[in-house]
Amino acid sequence: MARGRSSGYEDQRELILSHAAELFAQRGYSATSMNGVAEACGLSKPALYHYFRDKYDLLVNIAENHVVRLQALVCEVTNKSLEPEARLRELIRRFVVEYAQAQHAHRVLVEDIKFLTEEDQTRILNAERQVTHAFSSTVAQLWPHLGQAHLDKPTTMLLFGMINWMFTWFRPGGSLSYEDMAPIVADLFFGGVPSVRPPVTTNPPPSSDSTKADT
């Protein structure tokens, strides 16, 4: 009779994926070893293989789990049956907050997907396209002239440019949080710089420049 999985099996898998994503994002997929992942997780290498068969298995799970989570966020927002502007603002908010928690996985998805097989790449990229379509179709609803000129997707990708790479320069912990930044992104996208309004926040002023870009 096969031995059943322990109650903490899935939690342990998630912990391993979190550590592996951080290592892949910081060192690169090629420079990261299973020994390094095991050490970061506080596990022996044989114990690590109990959860994932190899480094490639880790990579596939990190990339796919991240995209699946984004798909779930899109479904949650879509099911609210919001008007297009409210829907897009909520999508922006949810994605900004999500990326704050999943920046390592997102970096892996962007930078290391090239190491996946063609089959795995195709499956994951198709899921990404579904996420992108949820945004671009809403953009086309709001601004039909963009859809008619086939500019809804390029405009959407510019929006993702603001969202996707915020973690490279934004330093939370000061007067602004990711929740504060989300409506700023939305205001900027909807109306340009003149439409940006200061957030209402209870956080104290930062002791240092929390939004300073790395130089």
Q: What is the DSSP string of 143-168?
A: -HHHHHTT-HHHHHHHHHHHHHTGGG
**The pair of three-digit structure tokens given for residue 165, joined into one six-digit string:** 């790479």
**The pair of three-digit structure tokens given for residue 109, joined into one six-digit string:** 């998805």
The domain locations on the chain are: 56-195
User: Please, are residues 84 and 141 in contact by the beta-carbon 8 Å criterion?
Assistant: yes
What is the pTM assigned to this prediction?
0.83
The whole-angstrom separation of Cα 1 and Cα 124 is: 35
Tens digit of pLDDT for each residue in 117-169? 999 999 999 999 999 999 999 999 999 999 999 999 999 999 999 998 888 88
Tens digit of pLDDT for each residue in 68-94? 999 999 999 999 999 999 999 999 999
User: Which fold does the domain 56-195 belong to in CATH?
Assistant: Tetracycline Repressor; domain 2 (1.10.357)
The whole-angstrom separation of Cα 203 and Cα 193 is: 23
The pLDDT-based confidence of 101 (bands split at 50, 70, 90) is confident
For residue 187, give the amino acid letter: D
